[in-house]
Structure formats: C-alpha cells, structure tokens
C-alpha cells in the first residue's frame, strides 16, 4: 500500500509552518547572514512564536503574523505572542555552524510523473491545489473553509482511492460532498472518493483547533522515509538546505536515466559538505559513483538559490515537485 497526504494551507499545522517560514524569510531579506530557529504553535484565538535569532534585522513580527494568517483565509482574530530572543555568546558559534549533532537528509525522485514525484503524491497535490483555487476564486464555493486534507492511496502501481477532509462551515455536508465529488470527477481521477467520511467538519483551522510547526512528514509519501523539512530554520542549516540539495541530486540521477533515485547525505557539525553520501535506484543498485559532492555543499543554497520568499514558497505545497523552486529546475 502506498499513500500520500497533502494539507491545504489553512490546516492548523500548515498554517503554523507558513507563519514560521514567513518570519524566516523576512529576517533573511533584511539580513542575509541571519541564523535562527523559530517554532510556532497556536489555536483557538492565540498563536505563540518562540525561538533564537542571531540577526541585525528588526521588524514588527506580530504584524507579519497577522498578515500571513489573513493571506491564508484565517480572518478571525488571532492574538500573537512573540518571544524571539537574541542568542547568547555561547550559542553564537553553534548557530554559525548550524548544528550540534550529525544530520542525515534524504531526497527522492521518480520518473512516474512530470513532477518527479510518486503518483499518489502528485495526485493529492493536484486535487489540493484545485480545492484551494476554488476556495479563493469561485464565489460558488464560498462555503469552503481554509482547512483541509487530501489523501490518495494505491494498492498497485496506480492510485485507486482518495479521501478528502474539508472544512465546510454551516453549508450542508451532503451538498458539499456533491460539489467535491464533482470536482474530483472533473479532474478525471477515476478514483474511489470519500468526503468527510466520519461526518461534518464544520469549523477547524487555527481558529477552532490547535497546530504546530516543524513536524516531520512524508515529503514523498508512504512508505518512503519521513523528512524534517527544516521549517523555522534559516537557509544555512543542513536540515533545510540539505533536504533541498539531495532532492536536486535525486532529480539529476533520474534525468540521467534512473527510473527512481533515493539519495542520503550525512552532515557533521561544522561541515558544509557531507562526509557520507549514498544513492540507489529503485532496484537497489548503487549510484553513488555518479554523485558530485560539490553539488551538496550547503553554501550553494545561499549563493545560488536564495531569493525573497523562498522558504514560504517551499513550505506552501512542499519543497518537492513545485515549479519555480530553484532545485526543481
């Protein structure tokens, strides 16, 4: 069984991720040498931001939080509580090095889809994006809330079932189901589709539920390894930069002829180039000899890829398979 889940931007956890990454983006825009880690939690009218920062930047973090939530359709009052503290001299060296312990990152790519993602993930992303587009641009879908999830499963090589969990407010569930099933049919999925199978899902998002940033997730779907996407970290940290770099490396191997590629790299404290790299194709054959370690240099992200808003763009729908992200070119 293979499966993949995509959270809509208004999902409580996803909203916290996007707030965290908006803060990181703003710090880096004002001071490219920023080093930071920030965590966001919240729900039921309050949102809490805490973390460590080494930066020359200074701005209204609370105002940025409100604007970010408003852009996600979360227009109800959310009171921000911010505790971002400058690091002590003892912490500065650790922040500059980016880590205290070895970090292992994993990247994957496959020729199953144009996005070089597994079919289950590509399908769930396609539906989730269509739902978000309907919510934002179609007046007839006024009832749809910002929170939702789409999960696609496959027993064999092709996706065969999909489950949607969608916030629908006071709109009748059966009518919402009818419209959601119509959307799925219009996308020619040919899947068995279930919508809010356990009953009404009237109101959630951060207004009525709790969420948190930086949770590990199956970036490439199950049963592939879960990934720490480095949410709330600056672009110098190996957890984030490394995840982007090994995804680019896996894509390159697929472009060179592999049907699928899984790349793992280990970064030691203070090192910018991994001390160990392994790469295998879908049949387990070793592709490591085809790797160029210089392409996994953490400094490459800041030198070649950084642009304003990059972290937020990578977090919105996941850092893999999204056009416009530099490692996806």
pLDDT tens column, 39-73: 999 988 899 999 999 999 999 999 999 999 999 88
CATH of 13-95, one of 3.40.710.10, 3.30.300.10, 3.60.20.10, 3.40.50.2000: 3.30.300.10
The CATH number of domain 103-115+215-311 is 3.30.70: no
| H-only helix segments in the chain | 12-30, 61-71, 89-97, 119-137, 173-186, 205-208, 238-255, 299-300, 310-316
CB atoms inside a 10 Å sphere around CB 328: 18
Lowest-pLDDT range of 136-150, 179-193, 272-286: 179-193
pLDDT digits (tens, 9 = 90+) for 184-204: 888 877 899 999 999 998 888
User: Given phi > 0 = left and psi -120 to 50 = alpha, else beta, which region is 316?
Assistant: alpha
Query: How is residue 242 written in tokens?
Result: 């490394």
**203: which DSSP letter?**
S
What is the pLDDT confidence band of residue 270, given thresholds at 50, 70 and 90? confident
Say which CATH architecture domain 2-8+119-206 belongs to: 2-Layer Sandwich (3.30)
* pLDDT at residue 186 in the model: 85
Query: How is residue 12 written in tokens?
Result: 């409580």
* pLDDT at residue 121 in the model: 96
Domain positions in the chain are: 2-8+119-206, 13-95, 103-115+215-311
Number of H helices, E strands in the chain: 9, 11
How far is it, in rounded angstroms, from Cα 158 to Cα 168?
A: 29
pLDDT digits (tens, 9 = 90+) for 203-245: 888 888 999 999 888 899 999 988 888 999 999 999 999 999 9
Which candidate, 271, 272, 253, places its Cα nearest to that of 261? 253
How far is it, in rounded angstroms, from Cα 179 to Cα 192?
A: 15
Q: How far apart are the first and last CA of the chain?
A: 30
326 to 104, 143, 153, 323: CA distances (angstroms): 22, 36, 29, 8
**pLDDT at 1 > cutoff 90:** no
**pLDDT at 278 > cutoff 60:** yes
What is the pLDDT confidence band of residue 162, given thresholds at 50, 70 and 90? very high
Is the fold of 2-8+119-206 the same as that of 103-115+215-311? yes
Query: How is residue 92 written in tokens?
Result: 């500065």
* pLDDT at residue 93 in the model: 63
């Amino acid at each position: 069984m293979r499966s993949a889940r995509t959270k809509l931007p208004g999902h409580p956890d996803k909203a916290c991720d996007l707030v965290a990454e908006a803060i990181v983006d703003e710090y880096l825009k004002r001071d490219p040498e920023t080093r930071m880690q920030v965590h966001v939690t919240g729900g039921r009218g309050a949102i809490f931001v805490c973390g460590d920062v080494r930066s020359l930047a200074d701005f209204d973090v609370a105002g940025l939080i409100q604007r970010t939530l408003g852009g996600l359709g979360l227009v109800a009052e959310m009171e921000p509580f911010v505790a971002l503290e400058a690091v002590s001299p003892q912490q500065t060296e650790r922040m500059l090095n980016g880590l205290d312990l070895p970090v292992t990152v994993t990247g994957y790519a496959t020729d199953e889809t144009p996005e070089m993602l597994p079919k289950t993930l590509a399908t769930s992303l396609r539906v989730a994006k269509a739902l978000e587009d309907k919510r934002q641009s179609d007046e007839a879908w006024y009832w749809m809330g910002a929170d939702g999830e789409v999960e696609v499963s496959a027993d064999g090589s092709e996706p065969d079932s999909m489950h949607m969990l969608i916030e629908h407010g006071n709109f009748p569930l059966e009518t919402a189901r009818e419209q959601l099933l119509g959307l799925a049919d219009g996308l020619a999925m040919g899947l068995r589709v279930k919508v809010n199978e356990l009953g009404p899902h009237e109101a959630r998002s951060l207004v009525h539920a709790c969420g948190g940033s930086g949770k590990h997730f199956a970036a490439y779907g199950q049963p592939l390894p879960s990934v720490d996407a480095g949410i709330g970290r600056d672009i110098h940290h190996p957890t984030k930069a490394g995840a982007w770099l090994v995804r680019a490396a896996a894509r390159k191997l697929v472009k060179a002829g592999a049907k699928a590629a899984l790349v793992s790299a280990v970064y030691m404290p203070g090192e910018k180039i991994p001390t160990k790299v392994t790469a295998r194709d879908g049949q387990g054959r070793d592709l490591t000899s085809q790797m160029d370690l210089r392409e996994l240099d953490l400094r490459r992200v800041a030198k070649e890829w950084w642009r304003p808003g990059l972290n937020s763009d990578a977090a919105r729908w996941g850092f893999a398979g999204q056009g416009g992200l530099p490692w996806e070119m």
